[in-house]
Structure 1
Amino acid sequence: MTAFDEAFEHTVSLEGGYSNHAADRGGATNYGITEAVARENGYTGQMSELTLEKAKEIYQRRYWKPLRLDDIAAVSKPIALKLFDIGVNMGTGSAAKFVQRALNVFNRQQADYPDMAVDGAIGPKTVTAFITFMQKRKQQGETAFLKTLSSLQGARYIELAENREQNEAFVFGWMVNRA
């Protein structure tokens, strides 16, 4: 099973099937794919009829590839899986910013690699810094990075609920299942 297949199965198990929760800004969703994202990716049918195969295609194109998760998974599959889930749940920009922020504070005042712009896009500099970080910090680095991603994710969920009361309907589940 590829890292993408594993990430997809895990995320779909958390997202579930069709939903149209009144408090969800995303509106009708299926397998975690919002109607807006489905339409942007060429799907024209009813959201309740979105196939798992189409969802998988969208997930790979919209979330896996922009985050360069094949490159990340080659070094740390657990981190790639975590970033995929964050990207799906919070957007790829947030996932990329979490990586960049973590790398910037873990570089020992630029002794290991230079700081990078926190621009929300994973490019060659981010990937190179991540590889360097993992080579230097090894298993402890992976553990610390995963904890950092979960911490940033949890803090963002709190902010979302504080800024939009309707998100309180979801924050407990986000914390239990995601952060």
Structure 2
Amino acid sequence: MNIDSLIDAVIEKEGGFTDHPADRGGPTRWGITERVARAHGYAGPMRSFPAERAAAIYRKLYWQRPRFDQVASRAPLIAAELFDTGVNMGPRVATGFLQRALNALNRGASDYPDVALDGRIGPATLAALDGYLARRGATGEHVLLKAIEALQGERYVHLAESRPANEAFLYGWLANRIG
């Protein structure tokens, strides 16, 4: 899995133009909100926002900036999940899921030190990931992925419970974003 195929999958999953009344993000195309498109220099109508511009934004804001590319060299399945979750919930939330899971799986900090829950991939988070993978071996990445997806699912349910308008999206989130 490489970033180009991940971006293509997200663009396909997000689809074309939408402007759902319950979506606080407003008009979107390819999953990019109008606010983000404008912040990156796009001035045209969102119905015409090009997929190539969406791909460039995904690469910069949702892969390189949060340093998911650094995770990919260690755990490609985790990086792919962080990217997809980051697109849907924000990279800091996705990174927070990784950090929480790493802390919960380190057996009381006996395998590697806890990391700060700061939502950023830095040296400590990467060292914890390295320590986890070294300790848990080949199946470790799959278990860590399950933990991240469990946290993601819980957040989706919480979002629907706390804002009834989000119930319109819960089924799709669970069907298309987890697993």
Q: What is the TM-score of this pair, normalised by structure 2?
A: 0.95
Q: Tell me the residue number matched to 1:25.
A: 24
Q: Tell me the residue number matched to 2:88.
A: 89
Cα distance in 1 for residues equivalent to 2:127 and 2:6 = 22
1:24–1:70 CA distance, 2 compared to 1 (3 A) = same
Paired residue secondary structure (1:101): helix
Contact 1:66–1:122, Cα closer than 8 Å, also in 2? no
Q: For 1:39-96, what per-residue CA distance to the aligned partner results, in whole angstroms no more than 9, with x for missing partners?
A: 2222222111111110011011111012212111111211111110000000011001
Q: Please report the RMSD computed on the Cα atoms of aligned residues, expressed in angstroms.
A: 1.2
Equivalenced residue count is 178
Identity of aligned residues (%): 47
Flag as ranges the 4+ runs of structure 1 deviating above 2 A. none
Cα distance in 2 for residues equivalent to 1:159 and 1:42 = 34
Paired residue secondary structure (2:18): coil
- Pairs within 5 Å for 1:147-158: 147-158=146-157
Letter in 2 for 1:116: V
Q: Tell me the residue number matched to 1:35.
A: 34
How far off is 1:103 after superposition?
0.7
- Pairs within 5 Å for 1:1-179: 3-179=2-178
Letter in 2 for 1:8: I
Structure 1: unaligned runs, 5 residues or longer: none
Cα distance in 2 for residues equivalent to 1:22 and 1:43 = 23
Q: For 1:7-62, what per-residue CA distance to the aligned partner results, in whole angstroms no more than 9, with x for missing partners?
A: 11121121111111111111100111111111222222211111111001101111
Cα distance in 1 for residues equivalent to 2:161 and 2:104 = 26
- Range with bigger deviation, 76-85 or 36-45: 36-45
Cα distance in 1 for residues equivalent to 2:36 and 2:103 = 31
How far off is 1:139 after superposition?
2.2
